[in-house]
């Protein structure tokens, strides 16, 4: 890395994550940054430290109730008549 400061987009590309994830990491103080004006910049050293950090994926998303098997429910009812 020749540069010393990276934008959140550039840091995200270097880390293989989204820019939103980099902003989240900055907010949680997981990665060091510098604020200049309205923009945040990530140092090359902070990116190198984050790349070496061992991370594991988060928990799998939970299925919504009634959609666990992927089948649609409801719809037209064919062949039924109303009885008095």
For the stretch 47-79, pLDDT in tens is 999 988 866 667 777 766 665 555 556 666 666
**Radius of gyration over alpha carbons of the chain, in Å?**
24
Contact 48, 1 (CB under 8 A): yes
Does residue 1 or residue 36 have the better pLDDT? Answer: 36
Query: In the structure, what pLDDT confidence band is assigned to residue 2 with cuts at 50, 70 and 90?
Result: low
- Taking only the tens place, the pLDDT of each residue in 4-41 is 899 999 999 999 999 999 999 999 999 999 999 998 99
DSSP string over the chain = ---SEE-HHHHHHHHTS-HHHHHHHHHTTSS-EEEETTEEEEEHHHHHHHHHS-----PPPPPPTT-TT---------S-----
Domain extents for the chain?
5-52
**Taking the model in full, what pTM does it have?**
0.60
């Amino acid at each position: 890395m020749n540069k010393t400061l990276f934008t959140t987009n550039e840091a995200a590309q270097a880390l293989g994550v989204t820019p939103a994830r980099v902003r989240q990491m900055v907010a949680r103080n997981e990665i060091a940054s510098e604020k200049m004006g309205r923009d945040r910049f990530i140092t090359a050293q902070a990116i190198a430290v984050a790349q070496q950090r061992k991370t594991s994926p988060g928990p799998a998303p939970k299925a919504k109730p009634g959609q666990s098997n992927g089948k649609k429910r409801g719809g037209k009812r064919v062949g039924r008549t109303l009885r008095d």
